[in-house]
Chain A
């Protein structure tokens, strides 16, 4: 009787090869290793637990169907992260179509205000617990508009270049630069506010 492969000790590339050959157990091990990361990326964009779960599940299904297209140029989780990000962008577009007016209205109301904001000084805050800072950044991200949050996630977390973001968001590089700039301004302002309020910075 052939011995079962040692899934838990195998590296990702080996698991991917087994999965490509139709081994669902190898794929299950990949899911087990990277499911949290994929869920987090979906949550960062969508800010909705249920949607993030659904989209991350869909991403895994698509990954299984497209395994032949993965040739290892990037790491497996990076490749998968691109898939879930694309699904999130599709979902945002779908939501936008469903509520076209409200997003445009939000842009109109928040844009000019953000334009008037001065860039607040935010230092990397010596001594502040990293986890605490992450939580505050996360809370600030939740307050950004969909467009601003998405561009931040794609640039800072997904580590895409301006050109790639423009392609994914279906917009110009100039628009990406502008959105990123005002998103950062807003983020800095929100962070400064909360850190000052809690006495964590002067």
Chain B
């Protein structure tokens, strides 16, 4: 056992963390060793000093204000918990189920689409090799990239209004 380990064991003895034969053996060793006896005495003194030494401090804000902060936080947390626990009603409940199902349907459609295996999709437009299609409407953001060489079409579509075909213009580059 090195010196540091011995010091830590003396501390453990002072702290009451050593018991039984282990504690007894260390006590015997301390009695016959001046340095360990001194260390034991000093650690005991520090422990004695620390007993009840936490400095009392008044809360630095008025008690009423402190309580109001606590009660506001409790009420806020309870409102949040209720809101999260509340069952979805009407349209919300319907959307909760329909949205993932619709997403799943789109993925399945994409995966099973013949165009994936049989060349470019039939858009009613004769496509050569690489083309970029752009739909123009102020409220719609659409970008389509089609490459016949790779049998791949990529479409980005972002809209927030009802689409009306007569408002769309199609450019073929």
Contacts and interface: CB of A to CB of B under 8 A. Distances in A.
B46 to A, nearest CB: 5
Contact of A133 (B4, B53, B60, B63): B53
> Most chain-B CB neighbours within 10 Å: which of A61, A120, A157, A162?
A61
B54 A40 contact: yes
Contacts of A161: 17
A135 interface: yes
A199 B125 CA distance: 99
Contacts of B54: 40-41, 44, 134, 138, 153, 156-157
A184 B46 contact: yes
A53 B61 contact: yes
Contacts of A156: 47, 50-51, 53-54
A31 B48 contact: no
Contacts of A125: 49
Interface in A29-68: 31-32, 35-36, 39-41, 43-44, 49, 53, 56-58, 60-61, 64-65
Interface residues of B, number: 35
Interface string B41-70: 011011111110111111111010011011
B93 to A, nearest CB: 28
Contacts, number: 108
Contacts of A44: 54
A162 B59 contact: no
B71 A121 contact: no
A11 interface: no
Contacts of A28: 67, 71
Nearest to B50: A156
Contacts of B77: 61, 65
Nearest to B4: A178
Contacts of B55: 40, 134-135, 137-138
Given A124-B48, A138-B55, A64 B42 contact: no
Contact of B7 (A56, A157, A181): A181
Given A177-B8, A177-B11, A53 B59 contact: yes
A39 B59 contact: yes
Contacts of A40: 54-57
B73 interface: yes
7 contacts: A31-B67, A57-B66, A119-B43, A120-B42, A152-B50, A157-B54, A184-B46
